[in-house]
Amino acid sequence: MIDLLIVGGGIVGSWLAYRAAERGMSVAMCDLSHRPGDATSGRNSGVLHAGIYYKPESLKAIHCIRGYALTLEYLQKNNVPHTVCGKLITTGQQRGDEAEARLQALLENARSIGARDLSVIRNVEKHYPGVKGESALLSPHTGVCDAAAYLRSVQNRAQQAGAFWLIGRKLVALENQADGVRAILQDDEGRQEEVVCARAVNAAGLYCDEVAAMVGLGGYEIVPVRGEYYRLNKPHPVNMLVYPLPDPNSTALGVHYTFHPGGDAYAGPNAVSAESKEDYRITQSARDFAASLSHILDGYTEADLGPGYAGLRPRLRIDGQDYRDFYIHRQDNCIHLLGIESPGLTSAASLSETVLNQL
Ligand SMILES: Cc1cc2nc3c(=O)[nH]c(=O)nc-3n(C[C@H](O)[C@H](O)[C@H](O)COP(=O)(O)OP(=O)(O)OC[C@H]3O[C@@H](n4cnc5c(N)ncnc54)[C@H](O)[C@@H]3O)c2cc1C
């Protein structure tokens, strides 16, 4: 019997495998994909969030703040490409008292969560040519990393620490038993194998609800919400991430300007309902994206945008109600990680610490 089976080799499962193997546990990680993490962990903005938007005391707030520090330390130590470029959240084309009040509320929320060194910039256009807005919140510690390189690095560390991989194996059944957990994995050709372990962790991202249902946990549903990106043909001279003030009626942060440490610049992500958990199409037009971007930045027209990529947010519903936080469900010998959407990349190092302590 092995100590721990982790279902899902994205950034969360990989961090957990790394930590558990380092502590001397025998760890197996299974992933249905031959390229574990090519789902959400490989399809995001790569932003190291400094903790601005989340409800105080929520798991998102706690793990974003702690995860930011742990991730930055990890990236530095392991030479993973990243940059602490800073970020502006600008009122953009929104003018007047209401926009100012929302910016102020965001600042107060971020400070109460524990985000550091924030300030409000007035006359944004004067200080940051090309950025629109009367006022902006400056977060100097927000950064961006090469998400694919980060994931590969943690996966390699996990393997070096002794975790072994069961790649191209889909978990198809899970059963709590008196002294552990019994799992059935299936490969692409339909061959099945049994794994018996003391504990199992469900880190299956978009499919965490289906894994939870295997052990009788109903009531959880993941609704995939797609975030599409367009690639920009030139980086903006401001060299910082630029976001709009978030729309109070949306859970997404709004189409923003972002770039990868290698230099590629993007506009996105939007938030559109996906038809399935594999629906990675780009459906919104370049014209719409250019229009959204023009609310916060000068310098781009539709002709500057080419199709980029899309990712799926694993949005959680519990008993039919939207749930806006990460959710950790402990049950017998299993721990289920549910609704790990943004800031999951930033939070993974911290979340895995908590899960390991609970194990
Ligand atoms: C558009 C978008 C932008 C984002 N931007 C950011 C950002 O800038 N910063 C940030 O901090 N976060 C961001 N996020 C969130 C972040 O990407 C995720 O929270 C994080 O990657 C989730 O990682 P995970 O390991 O939980 O899931 P995943 O990466 O989805 O990994 C789950 C794995 O489980 C495997 N799996 C599923 N079912 C089974 C099964 N039955 N058997 C075996 N294996 C299975 C899958 O193949 C997959 O590899 C963004 C997300 C999206 C969609």
Q: Looking at residue 262, what is its pLDDT?
A: 84
Q: What's the CA-to-centroid distance between 102 and ligand 1, angstroms?
A: 30
Ligand 1 pocket mutation, candidates 18, 44, 146, 336, criterion most atoms within 8 A of CB: 44
Q: Are residues 130 and 232 in the same domain?
A: yes
Q: Cα(252) to centroid of ligand 1, in Å?
A: 16
Has residue 214 been placed in a domain?
A: yes
**Residue at 74 is within a domain:** no
Are 18 and 122 contained in the same domain? no
CATH number at residue 233: 3.30.9.10
Residue 34: how many other CB atoms lie within 10 Å: 10
Name the residue with the closest Cα to ligand 1, atom 31. 10
**Alpha carbon of 311 to ligand 1 centroid (Å):** 9
For residue 165, list its beta bridge partners.
29
The rounded Å distance from CA 294 to ligand 1 centre is: 29
Residue 55 tokens read as 């409800």
CATH of the domain at 24: 3.50.50.60
Neighbours of 166 (CB within 10 A): 22
Q: Whose CA is nearest to atom 37 of ligand 1?
A: 204
Question: Do 170 and 190 have their domain in common?
Answer: yes
pLDDT digits (tens, 9 = 90+) for 179-202: 999 999 999 999 999 999 999 999
Residue 252 has pLDDT above 70, yes or no: no
Secondary structure of the chain in HEC code, one letter for each residue: CEEEEEECCCHHHHHHHHHHHHCCCCEEEEECCCCCCCCHHHCCCCEECCCCCCCCCCHHHHHHHHHHHHHHHHHHHCCCCEECCCEEEECCCCCCHHHHHHHHHHHHHHHHHCCCCCEEEECHHHHCCCECCCEEEEECCCEEECHHHHHHHHHHHHHHCCCEEEECCEEEEEEEECCEEEEEEECCCCCEEEEEEEEEEECCHHHHHHHHHHCCCCCEEEEEEEEEEEEECCCCCCCCEEEECCCCCCCCCCCEEEECCCCCEEEECCCEECCCCCCCCCCCCHHHHHHHHCCCECCCCHHHEEEEEEEEEEEEEECCEEECCCEEEEECCEEEEECCCCCHHHHHHHHHHHHHHHC
For the chain, the domain total comes to 2
Please tell me the distance between residue 26's alpha carbon and the centre of ligand 1 in angstroms: 24
Contacts of residue 20, Cβ cutoff 8 Å, sequence gap at least 6: 3, 4, 6, 27, 163, 356, 359
Residue bearing the CA closest to ligand 1, atom 41: 171
Cα–ligand 1 centroid distance for 160 (angstroms): 22
pLDDT in tens, 266-276: 998 999 999 99
Q: Are residues 203 and 255 in the same domain?
A: no
- 185 and 302 part of one domain: no
The average pLDDT across 48-74 equals 97
Token pair recorded at residue 290: 């250019």
Whether residues 104 and 130 fall in one domain: yes
CB-defined site of ligand 1, < 6 Å: 7-13, 30-33, 36-37, 39-41, 44-47, 49, 170-171, 203-207, 211, 227, 269, 311-313, 340-346
Q: 54 in a domain, yes or no?
A: no
Domain-embedded: residue 55:
no
- Ligand 1 atom nearest residue 30's Cα: 43
Verify that 155 and 288 share a domain, yes or no: no
On whether residue 331 sits in a domain, the answer given is yes
User: Does residue 218 share a domain with residue 156?
Assistant: yes
Q: How do 135-139 and 87-90 pair as beta strands?
A: antiparallel
Asked if residue 133 and residue 210 are part of one domain, the reply reads: no
Index of the ligand 1 atom closest to the CA of residue 36: 49
Average pLDDT value for residue range 104-116 = 95
Across the range 139-154, mean pLDDT stands at 97
**Does residue 137 belong to any structural domain of this protein?**
yes
Question: Separation of 312 CA from ligand 1 center, angstroms?
Answer: 8
On whether both 12 and 137 belong to a single domain, the answer is: no
**205 C-alpha to center of ligand 1: Å?**
5
Residue 229 CA, closest ligand 1 atom number: 1
Which atom of ligand 1 lies at the shortest distance from residue 225's CA? 53
The two structure tokens encoding residue 235: 């980086």
Across residues 133-154, what is the average pLDDT? 96
Pocket test for ligand 1, best of 19, 141, 167, 342 (most atoms within 8 A of CB): 342
Instruction: Examine the domain organization and report whether 298 and 158 are in the same domain.
Output: no
pLDDT in tens, 263-313: 899 998 999 999 999 999 999 999 999 999 999 999 999 999 999 999 999
Provide the pLDDT for residue 93. 86
Does residue 241 sit in the same domain as residue 270?
A: yes
pLDDT of amino acid 151: 97
Is 202 a domain residue?
Answer: yes
* pLDDT confidence of residue 237: 86
Question: Residue type at 284?
Answer: Q
Contacts of 334 (CB under 8 A, 6+ apart): 174, 176, 181, 199, 200, 201, 202, 215
- Domain annotation covers residue 199: yes
- The domain in which residue 97 lies consists of 83-143+223-318
pLDDT of 249 higher than 80: no
- How do residues 202-235 score in pLDDT, each as one tens digit? 999 999 999 999 999 999 999 999 999 999 999 8
